[in-house]
Amino acid sequence: MEKRIFLSSPHMSKEGYEQEYVKDAFDKNWIAPLGENVNKFEEELAQYVGTGYAAALSAGTAAIHLGLMAAGVGKGDIVFCSSLTFSATANPIIYQNATPIFIDSEEETWNMDPKALEKAFEKYPNPKAVVVVHLYGTPAKMDEIVEICKKHNVTLIEDAAESLGSTYKGKQTGTFGKYGIYSFNGNKIITTSGGGMLVSENEERIQKVRFWSTQARDKARHYQHSEIGYNYRMSNIVAGIGRGQLKVLDERIKQKTDIYNRYKEAFKDIPEIKMQPVPVNTVPNHWLSAFVLDENSKVKPNDIMDALDKENIESRPVWKPMNLQPVFEKYDFITVCDGKKSVGQKLFENGVCLPSDTKMTEEEQNVVIKVVKDLFKNN
């Protein structure tokens, strides 16, 4: 195809909501990491997900970092972390000089396995926090994970970077733990080009996070600092884009869901393909439509990605688990698949993320489908 089909690219509203808020910031000369858009974006996002307070930050990674700080994670502390994720979930644990212990996935959601989490507590009974990811917008098994964390009196942090708008038993992901984080990176379901949000019911901790995110400047006429701070606050311009994007979030979720359902229907007669499951009592946002191939499939993930690339269509492998990354290889990994390949490794080796761009037309998606189906016809 002449026009490239992207995995997931920015999609501004046709109504121009984003431009209105950005123009307002220019008109008022609030071109800074403070202003009405920042305050309102925090309020509107918190209201949408149903939580008390939010801090608008420069990235989802910054939100995880300050969430760990708010939870009191420091040097030498142990943090349990989903292994099947992007490195931004785990990197902030290292920023805090803490020790990540990676937890394997389970096949029903592709997320953190509660059984492996329990096993981790048997080996490491006193972790400081648990960081769970909702992969590709599909909620993890939150009843079990929340119960385990409560039983062990450990702070739960949700990395909902990929799952804004997804619900588990009617409750928004990012609001089950003491802290939740969202990302507005360029490829997310709504975007501010770059940005993130930390949410919590604890007003004092969110105020502290805002303080840390603006270089921890004390209340004094002169520049005085009693703590180490960070330049992590979201700008008023970026927040204006976010406010406009939030108005079309429900529309984007519907579009992503339609894309997932079209793929699922198209591939239902190919036994080698299994789409990422939709667990009972969950409504994923389907940020990315991903599938896993049977290990005995003659068609391999690279065959699919190469064939799509030849047609100018972007696709990606499933995340490479953190326990398989060179930078994290020295840290422990907990799985219930002892003696066999972990669930995360099997998903990585056999998984493909398909184009899930909300600007993609049905005709363009049909081209993607045809490329994939043709590979199985010829094998």
Q: How confident is the model at residue 110, as a pLDDT?
A: 98
Q: Do 51 and 122 belong to one domain?
A: yes
Band of pLDDT at residue 116, cut at 50, 70 and 90: very high
Q: Do 176 and 300 belong to one domain?
A: no
Instruction: Average the pLDDT over 168-192 and give the result.
Output: 98
Region at 60 (left for phi over 0; alpha for psi -120 to 50; beta for the rest): alpha
Residues with Cβ within 8 Å of residue 32, at least 6 apart in sequence: 235, 236
Query: Is residue 2 a part of any domain in this protein?
Result: no
Residues with Cβ within 8 Å of residue 204, at least 6 apart in sequence: none
Q: How confident is the model at residue 33, as a pLDDT?
A: 85
Element holding 249 (H helix, E strand): helix 249-266
Q: Do 134 and 222 belong to one domain?
A: yes
Q: Which of 28-37, 81-90, 267-276 has the lowest mean pLDDT?
A: 28-37
Element holding 167 (H helix, E strand): strand 167-168
Q: How confident is the model at residue 339, as a pLDDT?
A: 87
Domain boundary residue, one of 222, 246, 270: 246
Identity at 44, one-letter amino acid code: E
Handedness of CA 134, 140, 143, 149 (dihedral sign): negative
pLDDT one-digit tens code per residue, 320-342: 999 999 999 999 999 999 889 99
Give the 3-state secondary structure of residue 311.
coil
Domain boundary residue, one of 220, 246, 272: 246
Query: Is residue 232 a part of any domain in this protein?
Result: yes
pLDDT one-digit tens code per residue, 6-59: 999 999 999 999 999 999 999 999 998 889 999 999 999 999 999 999 999 999
Query: Is residue 107 a part of any domain in this protein?
Result: yes
Question: For the chain, how many helices (H) and strands (E)?
Answer: 12, 15
Q: Do 66 and 145 belong to one domain?
A: yes
- CB of 298 closer than 8 Å to CB of 313: no
Q: How confident is the model at residue 357, as a pLDDT?
A: 98
CATH of the domain at 210: 3.40.640.10
Q: Do 262 and 278 belong to one domain?
A: yes
Query: Is residue 6 a part of any domain in this protein?
Result: no
What is the Cα 138 distance to its own chain's centre?
10
Compute the half-sphere exposure of residue 348: CA atoms within 13 Å on the CB side of its CA.
Answer: 18
Q: What average pLDDT is seen over the chain?
A: 97
Query: Is residue 201 a part of any domain in this protein?
Result: yes
CATH of the domain at 357: 3.90.1150.10
Closest CA to 253 of 313, 153, 164: 164
Whole domain around residue 187: which residue ranges? 17-246
Query: Is residue 8 a part of any domain in this protein?
Result: no
Q: Do 61 and 165 belong to one domain?
A: yes
Q: Do 66 and 176 belong to one domain?
A: yes
Rounded alpha-carbon distances, angstroms, from residue 62 to 90, 95, 154, 212, 232: 12, 11, 21, 11, 6
Q: Is the pLDDT of residue 115 over 90?
A: yes
Residues with Cβ within 8 Å of residue 169, at least 6 apart in sequence: 142, 143, 281, 282
Mode of pairing for the β-strands spanning 167-168 and 282-283: antiparallel
Q: Do 167 and 58 belong to one domain?
A: yes
Q: Do 150 and 167 belong to one domain?
A: yes
Q: Do 73 and 198 belong to one domain?
A: yes
Domain boundary residue, one of 246, 270, 287: 246
Rounded alpha-carbon distances, angstroms, from residue 314 to 109, 189, 264, 290, 310: 24, 17, 19, 13, 10
Q: How many domains does the chain have?
A: 2
Query: Is residue 3 a part of any domain in this protein?
Result: no
Q: Do 230 and 101 belong to one domain?
A: yes
Q: Do 219 and 303 belong to one domain?
A: no
